[in-house]
Amino acid sequence: MMGGANGAPEKDISMSTTNDFGALSWPYETGKLELTAADGSWLTLNADNGDPQSVMIEISTRDGVTETLIQPWSLWTENLRFEFVFRNAWSSD
């Protein structure tokens, strides 16, 4: 297995989204993105938090310790843009 960042071993990560996550416009106003690692830790970005300018982030360790944050989408703007990745998957053409 190839090394990841800083030579750390890569870990298997699964991703799931609701169909509406990132489908319409930035910032995302609906849907969820969930990332789950092989060790059971996970991260969820939940756009359905009642404020279209922010996202609820839940992070859980493999031991089940969970932390919840609410951050403005502006902090994620440059690093989290999925419309190009998912556009073909969601289009009906």
77 pLDDT exceeds 80?
A: no
What is the pLDDT at residue 31?
86
Q: In what order do the strands lie in the sheet with 13-17?
A: 13-17, 32-37, 42-46, 54-60, 66-72
pLDDT tens for residues 6-43? 555 556 888 888 777 766 667 778 888 899 999 999 99
Q: Are 86 and 22 in contact (CB under 8 A)?
A: yes
Note whether residue 49 is domain-resident: yes
pTM, two decimals, is 0.67
What is the pLDDT at residue 79?
72
pLDDT tens for residues 40-73? 999 998 988 889 889 999 999 999 999 999 999 8
The residue segments making up the domain with residue 59 are 16-83
Helix-strand-coil split of the chain, %, nearest 5: 15, 35, 50
Note whether residue 35 is domain-resident: yes
Note whether residue 4 is domain-resident: no
* Number of domains comprising the chain: 1
Note whether residue 36 is domain-resident: yes
CA distance 2 to 48: 36
Note whether residue 88 is domain-resident: no
What is the pLDDT at residue 6?
55
Note whether residue 65 is domain-resident: yes
What is the pLDDT at residue 61?
92
Note whether residue 72 is domain-resident: yes
Note whether residue 1 is domain-resident: no
